[in-house]
Amino acid sequence: MPHARIHYIDHSYSPEDHLARVLDVNPDIYGISFASPFAELACRMVRAVKARRPGIRVVCGGPHPTVDPAAVLLSSGADYCCLGEGERTLPELVASIASDTNPSSIAGLVSRGDDGTMAFAPPRDPVLTLDELPLPAWDLVDFRRYSGATVSRGTWSTAITASRGCLWNCTFCSNPVWRLRRPLLRVRSPSQVAREVEILYSYGVREIYIRSDEMNADIDWAVEVFSRLAALAHRDLYFQCNVRAEPMTARLADAMRRAQCWLCYVGVESASQRVLNGVRKGITLEGIHTCVRLLKESGIDVYAFMMLYNVWEDHNLLRTESTSEVLASLRFILSLRRMGLVDFMSWGFATPYPGSDLHRVCVKYNLIRHVCPGSTHVPTPHDMTLRLPGIPTYMMVLTRALGLLLQGFLSWRAPESYRTGSLLKNLRHTAYKLRCIVRPS
C-alpha cells in the first residue's frame, strides 16, 4: 500500500471551521464516521465538501452508514460506505484509489457510481483476533482539546474499548456493527489493553472510560483485565466502565476497585420486571440490587441509565410502558439513592434507532412523530420521539421533567469523590435536557 498522510480533525471545530480545514488540506480522500443521532449533520458536511471539491472521494463509516448505507449515499452524495469494521476495508479502498482501480468489489464496501447506482460488495468477516489490529494513532490526538467525561476524577480523560460486541439482544439497541457475524463477543487480551493504557498514560491521560458494551460478559477475562491495569501501579490513574446488572460477582468488583475503577454505568432502564422482560433486557430487579450492592461494597460509585416509555411487541400486539411504571422506576432510583446504592443517573426516552427491533415496531405501528421521507434526521433520547396510544403528551412532558429533576438532584448530592469541574459539566448537561423539555417536539 502506498504511503498516506493522515490529517485528523477533532470535535472542537465548528461545522464552518471543519469545512474550512477540509478545503485547506484538500485531501484525496475524506473519511467521516458517525452514529445515527449525527447522521443529518454528517450528511450536510459531506454535501458541502462535495459541492466545493467534487474530486475528493468521500467514504462514510460507523454505526449509521452500516445500518442504512443507501440512504446515506443518496442523501450526502458520498462515494462509499464502509459496513461494520473498517480497519481492513479502508486500507484496501485507499490502495484501490491510489492505483486507480475499481474498488466496488472490496468486501464490506458499498459504492455509489456517477449515475447514482449502488454496488454492494459481499460483507466482510469481523476481525476475530482483535490483538491483530494496530492500536489507535493516539499521537494525532491533542487531549487538551477535549472536555472529557461528564463525571471524572482525573484530567485529561479519554475512552478505549476492551471488547467488541454483546451477547444479549435488547430490543432498543441498534447494534448491527457488531452483530453482522458471529461470534457476538470478541475480547482483546488483557496485556494489550494494559499496553494501550500505558501509552495513554505517557501522553498525560489520567482517566479512561472503558466503553465496551459491558465489561462483565466474561467474568474471568474482566478480572484479568483489571488485574493487569492494577499492576501498572499508577496511583493517579482512574477508570470507568459499563457493566450489566447480571452477572456480577464480588471477585470482579474487588478487582475493579484495586485497579481504581471508581465508577460503573449500569443499564437499569426500568423498575418494572414486565418491561425488562418485554425489551429482552435479560436482567431481574433482584439482580440489579445485587449488582449495585456489590459495587458499593467495593467502594465503586454507580451511575444508573434509565429509559422512559419503552415499547415492544408481544405476539403481534403492541406493548408500552405505562406512566405509572415510569414513575415507579424514578421512585426506584430514588430509593436506591436513599440506601446509598446509586450515586448518579441519567434518563432518556426510548429512541427508535435504525436497525433496532424498537425501530421496526415503531414503524409498524406508526409511532414516530414527524417522519419526513428521505430525511437523515434521527432523534436522540432527549427528544420526545414517539406518539404512544393512551399516553397524553403532557404526561410524557411531566415525567420527563421529573426525571430531569431527579438527575439534577443526584448530581447535586453526589459524593465529593470527583472534582468540581465534573459537577459543573454534569449540571450543564442537565440544563441541555431542560431546553429539550421546553422546545417543541
- The secondary structure of 49-108 as a DSSP string is HHHH-TTSEEEEESHHHHH-HHHHHHHH--SEEE-S--TTHHHHHHHHHHTT---TTSTT
| pLDDT at residue 365 tops 70 | yes
pLDDT at position 92, please? 96
pLDDT at position 214, please? 94
| H/E stretch holding 260 | none
| pLDDT at residue 12 tops 70 | yes
Return the axis-axis angle of helices 323-338 and 393-412, rounded to nearest 10°: 10
> Cell numbers 431527579 correspond to what residue?
406
Phi, psi dihedral angles at 381 (to 5 degrees): -65, -15
Mean pLDDT throughout 93-116? 93
Phi, psi dihedral angles at 245 (to 5 degrees): -65, -30
pLDDT at position 149, please? 77
Smallest Cα–Cα separation from 247: which of 168, 130, 356, 334?
Answer: 168
CA dihedral for 63, 64, 66, 67, sign (positive or negative) = positive
Mean pLDDT throughout 60-65? 93
- Weakest-pLDDT range from 171-185, 232-246, 293-307, 406-420: 406-420
Q: Please, are residues 279 and 170 in contact by the beta-carbon 8 Å criterion?
A: yes
Q: How far is CA 173 from the centre of its chain?
A: 10
| pLDDT at residue 192 tops 80 | yes
pLDDT at position 341, please? 96
Phi, psi dihedral angles at 418 (to 5 degrees): -145, 165
Q: Please, are residues 306 and 405 in contact by the beta-carbon 8 Å criterion?
A: no
pLDDT, tens digit, for every residue of 207-235?
999 999 999 999 999 999 999 999 999 99
Q: Distance (Å, rounded) from C-alpha 130 to C-alpha 138?
A: 17
| pLDDT at residue 437 tops 60 | no
- Weakest-pLDDT range from 82-86, 147-151, 182-186: 147-151
pLDDT at position 170, please? 93
- Higher pLDDT pick, 271 / 155: 271
Q: Distance (Å, rounded) from C-alpha 270 to C-alpha 14?
A: 37
156 preceded by a cis bond (ω within 30 of 0)? yes
Phi, psi dihedral angles at 282 (to 5 degrees): 75, 25
pLDDT at position 432, please? 52
Q: Please, are residues 94 and 88 in contact by the beta-carbon 8 Å criterion?
A: no
Q: How far is CA 324 from the centre of its chain?
A: 29
Q: Please, are residues 384 and 323 in contact by the beta-carbon 8 Å criterion?
A: no
What confidence category does residue 335 fall into, taking pLDDT thresholds of 50, 70 and 90?
very high
Mean pLDDT throughout 139-158? 84
pLDDT, tens digit, for every residue of 295-309?
999 999 999 999 999
| pLDDT at residue 124 tops 50 | yes
- Higher pLDDT pick, 223 / 150: 223
pLDDT at position 11, please? 82
pLDDT at position 384, please? 81
Q: Please, are residues 92 and 103 in contact by the beta-carbon 8 Å criterion?
A: yes
15: left (phi over 0), alpha (psi -120 to 50) or beta: alpha
What confidence category does residue 186 fall into, taking pLDDT thresholds of 50, 70 and 90?
very high
Mean pLDDT throughout 417-425? 50
If you average pLDDT over every residue of the chain, what do you get?
Answer: 89
What is the number of other CB atoms lying within 10 angstroms of the CB of residue 47?
15
pLDDT at position 419, please? 47
Q: Please, are residues 350 and 410 in contact by the beta-carbon 8 Å criterion?
A: no
pLDDT > 70 in the chain, percent: 89
pLDDT at position 420, please? 47
- Weakest-pLDDT range from 115-119, 319-323, 418-422, 423-427: 418-422
Q: Distance (Å, rounded) from C-alpha 292 to C-alpha 307?
A: 18
pLDDT at position 404, please? 86
Phi, psi dihedral angles at 31 (to 5 degrees): -110, 140
Q: Are strands 157-160 and 163-165 parallel, antiparallel or unpaired?
A: unpaired
What confidence category does residue 37 fall into, taking pLDDT thresholds of 50, 70 and 90?
confident
The C-alpha R_g of the chain, in whole angstroms, comes to 22
Q: How far is CA 51 from the centre of its chain?
A: 31
